[in-house]
């Protein structure tokens, strides 16, 4: 395998899709993600996913975590690799973008501030502004993967605190899937999986008290890929 004369022009970037459930005053929660306004060309002024160039001396996951922290101040406990995007025409120059993603709880998403806070904002995933490059398609793919994944894994718990009610969990599913679920059926299905442990605590408030649950196991919620420390370590 000889080195092509052409590939000198190929550069490697990383981007991150950070999703959370935003609750605004009693309304149904909505999926939201942070974007960064570009201050230089190409696409100056357009919103883009947090990201930047891969540095020679850092792993892909470390680059994703670094550029995410620099731009947004966010530091999720893990980042999962989503996909490597490499269409020839996705940028004026040839850029391969390795995209990572994470689900964060709403508490983790507030208060985080990057180096240029005026150019960072959270957007409703259903109501995005004009986006740079192929970032609209990257987000669409992340949302598709999320919808797909709730069918066979406990990914929705990534949005929730360690203890949650069945209504919290159902609401997370409903938001991801974009449709209402029957509460009784949902409870039966969750019971059948035996992955939740009822605690002795209840949430009280305007409704009747609701029992709090926690995850039954310490099984990873994220696919850490090849499970190698140097690949998945974010710092």
Is 207 among the residues that bind its own copies (CB under 8 A)?
A: no
Q: Pick the binder of its own copies from 18, 21, 32, 54 (CB under 8 A).
A: 54
Interface with its own copies in residues 166-185 (CB under 8 A) = none
Q: Is 192 in the site for its own copies (CB under 8 A)?
A: no
Q: In sequence order, what are the residues at sequence separation of 6 or more whose Cβ sits closer than 8 angstroms to the Cβ of residue 121? A: 34, 35, 37, 47
**228 contributes a contact to its own copies by CB under 8 A:** yes
> Judged by CB under 8 A, which of 23, 24, 86, 115 binds its own copies?
86
d(CA 78, CA 74): 11
Rule CB under 8 A: say whether 191 interacts with its own copies. no
- Which residues, at least 6 apart from 120, have a Cβ–Cβ distance to it below 8 Å? 34, 35, 36, 37, 50, 71, 72, 113, 114
Rg, C-alpha atoms of the chain: 19
For residue 186, state whether it binds its own copies (rule: CB under 8 A): no
Binding span for its own copies by CB under 8 A among 80-88, 154-162, 171-179, 201-209: 80-88
Which residue in 30, 43, 73, 96 binds its own copies (CB under 8 A)?
Answer: 96
Q: Are the CB atoms for 62 and 229 separated by under 8 Å?
A: no
């Amino acid at each position: 395998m000889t080195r092509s004369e052409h590939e000198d022009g190929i550069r490697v970037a990383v981007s991150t899709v950070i999703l959370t459930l935003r609750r605004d005053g009693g309304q149904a929660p909505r999926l939201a993600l942070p974007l960064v306004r570009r201050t230089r060309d190409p696409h100056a002024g357009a919103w883009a996913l947090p990201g930047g160039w891969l540095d020679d001396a850092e792993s892909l996951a470390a680059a994703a975590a670094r550029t995410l922290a620099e731009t947004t101040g966010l530091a999720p406990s893990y980042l999962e690799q989503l996909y490597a995007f490499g269409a020839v025409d996705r940028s004026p120059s040839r850029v391969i973008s390795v995209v990572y993603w994470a689900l964060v709880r709403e508490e983790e998403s507030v208060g985080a501030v990057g180096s240029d806070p005026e150019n960072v904002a959270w957007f409703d995933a259903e109501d995005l502004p004009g986006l740079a490059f192929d970032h609209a398609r990257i987000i669409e793919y992340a949302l598709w993967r999320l919808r797909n994944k709730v069918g066979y894994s406990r990914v929705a718990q990534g949005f929730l605190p360690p203890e949650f009610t069945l209504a919290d969990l159902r609401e997370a599913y409903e938001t991801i899937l974009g449709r209402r679920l029957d509460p009784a059926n949902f409870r039966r299905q969750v019971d059948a999986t035996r992955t939740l442990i009822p605690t002795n605590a209840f949430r009280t408030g305007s409704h009747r008290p609701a029992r709090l649950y926690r995850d039954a196991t310490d099984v990873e919620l994220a696919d850490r890929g090849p499970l190698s420390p140097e690949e998945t370590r974010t710092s």
